[in-house]
Structure 1
Amino acid sequence: MGEILQFIADPHNDFIGHTIAYIQICAFSIVVSVIIGVILGIIVSRNAVLGFIAVNLSGLMRAIPIIAFLIAVLPYLGLGFTPTVVALIILGIPPVLLNTYTGLRGIDPATIDAARGMGMTRGQIITRIQIPLVSPIVAAGIRTAAVQIVATATLAAFIGAGGYGDYIVDGLYKLNNAEMLAGAIPVAILAIIIEVFMAWLQRVLTPAGIRVQGEVEIAQI
């Protein structure tokens, strides 16, 4: 542990710079993938054919190895930040899109009809019924996407984007455990922090009635 701390404290290793670079890559990728995933999920949820295409295409996207994608786009996007975030955004979109689509399609049409019968406008139905019901499901998709992005962003080291991946790759090459762990441990800690935060956010976004119902069902089981 002392060697790791000594490595981090050495200004020549620029730990703060690598930390900032890693957080920038992850944050940008997460935000963009969430925006695209939610928008696409809303669009395809209104059409069964588009939904079928989106679900299968999302599965195909998740099957593509990120490192293979990075190599494929290298001649077109070059090295550094851009190809890295493009790859991570593609990785993050599917779980957000699928959860958004599943959540919207899973709302009972009778609930919407009842809301219309009560005189609610389209905007009120969206804000008071659909969003509260879908939010925890979307949050679960964001949770999955965020953890995947944080855990995968170390591959940025192979195309010169910086971040903790540089320490891991260099540490493996030099057989330097302190350098390797100086990159691996922060990634693990960051992934755990995001996992815990998103789990809390998912619980907060779950309507009280649904949360109580779930707890009762678990207790009965």
Structure 2
Amino acid sequence: MVAEAFFWIVENQGQFLRALWRHLLMSGISLGLAVSIALPLAVLIVNYSRFAFVVINVVNAMRTVPSLAILAIMLPLFGIGIGPCIVALTVLALPPILLNAYVGLRDVDPDAVEAAIGMGMSKGQVMRSIRVPLAAPAMFAGTRTAAVQVLAGATLAPFIGGGGLGDFIATGISMMNTSRLLVGAVPIALLTLTTEFSFGWLERKLFSERDPT
């Protein structure tokens, strides 16, 4: 089955590469939007406990909604195509990034914050120079989780006309053709594994030097 899928990819490189590019484009834009929304929002709410309580509870509720349900909700709101898929995947990526960033900023060593305030730093300076750098590993970990979730979630994009590698899975299921299903499933699995290991390597590279242990 895997060999048949490989030969199909070789014989239909153009179609496969277009689907791969669409999958990566949807995932990349969605992750970028989620990061650009979640990180500033975490910075905004960390000093306002009541507002943070509401936002975090809403985000936690979002985490319980299945990926397919999020895509289905986008259908009557935005129609079909890559746009609604990007919106849905952005919603899917927001919770892990926002929650990790918020917890990281909230749990920064209070002694470090008090020392900075004692030196005359303003709240903004403390945020930029103390909280954000110390919370960066948690922020990165949230982004890493979101990247894997988005790549996997984009598999469902064909159900609202988004295309991507999930097209091959949907076609394989409808045709009862396992080799065609694997044309989509195997590359998606490889993409998610590669992303996980790449982010893990980059995380160790960026933050291991900060760890005194």
Same fold (TM over 0.5): yes
1:204 lines up with 2:205 in the alignment: yes
* Cα offset, 1:178, TM superposition: 1.4
Moved more, 173-182 or 135-144: 173-182
Q: Contact 1:135/1:205 (CA < 8 Å) preserved in 2?
A: no
Which residue in the other structure is 2:61 paired with? 60
How many Å apart are 1:123 and its aligned residue?
6.2
Q: Name the SS of the counterpart of 1:170 in structure 2.
A: helix
- Please identify runs of 4+ aligned residues in structure 1 that moved more than 6 A: none
Shift of 1:43: 1.0
Q: Distance in 2 between matches of 1:75 and 1:131?
A: 39
Match of 1:181 in 2: 182
For residue 128 of structure 1, report the CA deviation from its aligned partner: 3.9
Provide Cα deviations, 1:75-105, integer angstroms capped at 9, x if missing partner: 2311111111111111100111111110111
Which structure 1 residue ranges, 5 or more long, are not aligned?
214-221
In structure 1, the partner of 2:73 is 72
State whether residues 18 and 164 of structure 1, in contact with CA within 8 Å, keep that contact through their aligned partners in structure 2.
yes
| Map 1:21-32 → 2, pairs under 5 A | 21-32=22-33
Q: How many pairs were matched up?
A: 212
Task: Structure 2 unaligned segments of length 5 or more: list them.
Answer: none
Q: Secondary structure of 1:72's match?
A: helix
2:21 equivalent to 1:20: yes
Offset, 1:133:
0.8
Query: What SS does the aligned partner of 1:15 have?
Result: helix
Amino acid at match of 1:45: V
- Alpha-carbon deviation of 1:208? 2.9
Equivalent residue of 1:206, what SS? Answer: helix
Matched with 2:52 is: 51
Distance of 2:145 and 2:176 partners within structure 1: 32
Query: Any conservation in 2 of the 1:171–1:179 contact (CA below 8 Å)?
Result: yes
TM-score (norm: length of structure 2): 0.91
Please give the alpha-carbon distance, in whole angstroms, between the structure 2 residues aligned to 1:199 and 1:11: 33
Distance 1:178 1:207, change over 3 A: closer
Q: Specify the alignment match of 1:10 in structure 2.
A: 11
Asked whether the equivalents of residues 4 and 178 of structure 1 are also in contact (C-alpha less than 8 Å), the reply is yes
Cα distance in 1, alignment partners of residues 14 and 119 from structure 2? 64
SS at match of 2:212: helix
C-alpha separation between the residues in 2 aligned to 1:10 and 1:176? 17
| TM-score, length-scaled by structure 1 | 0.88
CA RMSD of aligned residues (A): 1.9
